[in-house]
Amino acid sequence: MTVSLKHKFTSLIPDAGDPTIVQPSNWNDEHALTQATETILGRVSALTGDTEELTPAQVRALLNVADGATANSSDAFLLARANHTGTQLAATISDFATAASLVCLPLAGGTMTGKLVTDASEAVLGAGFNVPHGIVPNAPADGDFWTTAAFGLYVRVNGVTKAMASLDNASQWTIIQTFKTSSTTAASIRLPHGVAPNAPANGDMWTATTGLFYRINGVTQTALSVSDAAAAYQPLTANLTSWGAIARAANFDAFVAAPSSANLRTLLTDEVGT
């Protein structure tokens, strides 16, 4: 409404003709109300009294509003969690512990009811999952896994602790290992060409450009292929071309080359005379 300032009493007497005196209409008319710019009428002084012109600072003090404060946003904006900043103590949030237990795994441990998907490993942030080095548990449960600095990764399966084979460290199997059957695209096992070890151990196997080698009872042996055997030795089903591999009696070669009576006599050991 428009501000109006009049006397409470309204005069019904008509105006007289003298304009130099206050007329009844002047009494009944609106009175001019003036005040300084950027002020609000009110009162900050104690007790009831005259109206005062209040400065902006006095008005803010009365309204308990900080200097430079902005107008409040809508309730919908203020209630939206996405628009909240700063921190708040968990103890001041109703049902916080109950709600957090449904989505957070306690630091003291717990049982997950769903699948755990970790972040992918990154060059800077590191692996997506980390199991710090420790020692073997006294009573591991099936499904437990842990790491140690001495070897590597262990897992408990069906009541037995399994040591995972490492590609970087020497591993010893305690049971026989059966490799995949070879195919037209891949062999069952591969020993890349290298050089002979300086101190091979019994059972060691290696390959070089000259063949396959293995260590047996402290001696390095060379595996003989079928083609190598065919080149070095004559097949049993073929005619002999050499006596080289047969132990022969003295003078036997001379008799075979020239089977004369004289050569036969030198070959025989129990014959005397001519």
- Rounded CA-CA distance 18/38 in Å is 40
- Rounded CA-CA distance 172/13 in Å is 125
- Rounded CA-CA distance 121/125 in Å is 7
206 contacts 197 by C-beta, under 8 angstroms:
yes
Where in the chain are the domains? 1-105, 133-169, 234-267
Which is it for the CA torsion 191, 194, 196, 197, positive or negative? negative
Q: Which residues of the chain have pLDDT under 70?
A: 1, 101-102, 167, 169, 224-226, 229-238, 240-241, 244-245, 271-274
Tell me the per-residue pLDDT of 21-57, one tens digit each, with 9 for 90 and over: 988 888 888 888 888 888 888 888 988 988 888 888 8
Tell me the per-residue pLDDT of 205-243, one tens digit each, with 9 for 90 and over: 999 888 888 999 999 998 866 677 666 666 666 676 677
11 contacts 24 by C-beta, under 8 angstroms:
yes
What per-residue confidence (pLDDT) applies to 199? 92
Total Cβ atoms within 10 A of residue 58:
16
